[in-house]
Amino acid sequence: MPRRLALLLAFLLVGLTGCAGAGAIGTSGRTLVVAIVSNPQMEDAVRLAGEFERANPGIRLKFVQLPENQARAKITASTATQGGEFDVVMISNYETKQWAANGWLENLQPYFDPAYDADDFIPSIRESLSYEGSMYAVPFYGESSFLAYRKDLFEQAGLTMPEHPTWQQIAEFAAKLDDEEQGIAGICLRGKPGWGESLAPFTTVANTFGARWFDEDWNAQLTSPEFRAAAEFYVNLVREHGETGASSAGFSECGTRYAQGQAAMWYDATVMAGTNEDPASSKVVGKSGYVPAPVVRTPASGWLYTWALAMPKGTEDKDAAWRFMRWMTSKEFVQQVGTEFGWNRVPPGCRLSTYEIPEYRRAAREYAQVTLDSIDRAQQRNTMLHPVPYPGIQFVGIPEFQDLGTRVSQQLSAAIAGKISVDEALQQSQQYAESVGESYRETR
């Protein structure tokens, strides 16, 4: 384990650039430096930051907003080395258990008070951020994955979306709905490299085809018949009926295309629904239906993910950091977002009480229940056909996956772009995975 950890840190530190130190004393008091991923939900938190500062005189907030791939590498390197660049970091359920076990994060359980109501968090989300019975990160929003589809386009084409579609059905629909003349792709799927980008939806497809990254003995399985079938399906679907420039399209790009009416279907994170139904940014408000993640051989195939706030061990003013974390993940924050920006903008998939708010229930009536059901079913026993030696659904829950997953995603993206064949992509990916698997077999 120490050797693998050292290699991971060396890889991450190569790309780490300088950053202003955390906890600087500003003209009005303490400045908390908060590293977050740049997406619409986090932008709302930044816009409301003044509310927190007014309620907490003497604490100033400085947000460092980074694209997802950059954020992962920078936050990992900073937290692992206790560099002190950030007082609060945004991480996911992929990192939380690993980092807690490494001693990199502050145990948040002692900070909870009854009014914060940590028991209100959706159980599967709460457990995914816990280590040895204590929470080491608190969720800002949670998600599974599902499929959005244009009800109007389906009706015009005489098509009916099943309540629980298969991927084969989705491919057939995409072929029928593809309309190059109108600039509408049959489906939008991520092709952008990154273990948290294209690898997230693709791995759920691989899972439901019966594939896995490693067998129980840590033998790499990326050239197995199941993995190959999933890769060929995904690459062919996005090449034949996906969006233009699919090899560089991630969540944000697909979100923009779908919201602008340029895709008939979109398979991605359940959090997408808030953007799709936001009149301020979407041209397809009220035109979408939402169904569970398509399957092939498994009962379900949705992933489980949460963006959450954590406190590095090196944070100096832990009380101030917790006050901010508490504010951004509280019931009151949900009310603030709903009142200020609209109820479709509320961070979803996090607190059970959110789904009891009348205004939110009305705004999210098309997708609230399917989101909760998808999160509830997002467990390995429902989404995988064979046992695996690692945690995670859309990721392999080991430190090396940040590097391994990114390398494999680059191969997948190259296949989507037509630069290499699927077989070539998988052969190279298998070599990467074999080296990781070998290190785990050596330490068993």
pLDDT in tens, 194-224: 998 999 999 999 999 999 999 999 999 999 9
Measured CA to CA, the distance from residue 390 to residue 341 in angstroms comes to 40
Statement: residue 41 has pLDDT above 90: no
Question: Residue 36: pLDDT above 80?
Answer: yes
The b/e string for 281-297 (b: 16+ C-beta within 10 A; e otherwise) is: bbebeebbbbbbbbbbe
How far CA 15 is from CA of 8, 33, 70, in Å, comes to: 12, 20, 9
- 145-303+376-443 is classed in which CATH architecture? 3-Layer(aba) Sandwich (3.40)
Task: Round to whole Å and give the CA distance between 384 and 388.
Answer: 9
pLDDT of residue 7: 43
134-135 and 145-150: which strand pairing? unpaired
Fold of 30-141+306-367: D-Maltodextrin-Binding Protein; domain 2 (3.40.190)
CATH 3.40.190.10 domain range(s) in the chain: 30-141+306-367, 145-303+376-443
User: What type of residue sits at position 254?
Assistant: C
**pLDDT number for residue 40:** 76
In which band, very low, low, confident or very high, does the pLDDT at 444 lie, cut at 50, 70 and 90? low
Query: Over the Cα atoms of the chain, what is R_g?
Result: 21
Model pLDDT for residues 298-307, shown as the tens digit of each residue: 999 999 999 9
pLDDT digits (tens, 9 = 90+) for 346-359: 999 999 999 999 99
| pLDDT for res 360 | 95
* pLDDT at residue 359 in the model: 96
Average of per-residue pLDDT across 16-42:
66
Q: Does the reported pTM lie above 0.85? A: yes
With CA atoms as reference, report the closest residue to 440 among 400, 384, 380, 408.
Answer: 400
Position 17 confidence tier, pLDDT thresholds 50, 70, 90 = very low
Separation of alpha carbons 187 and 262, rounded Å: 9
pLDDT digits (tens, 9 = 90+) for 57-113: 999 999 999 887 688 888 988 999 888 899 999 999 999 999 999 999 999 999 999
Whether the CB-CB separation of 191 and 246 falls below 8 Å is answered with yes
pLDDT, the chain, mean: 92
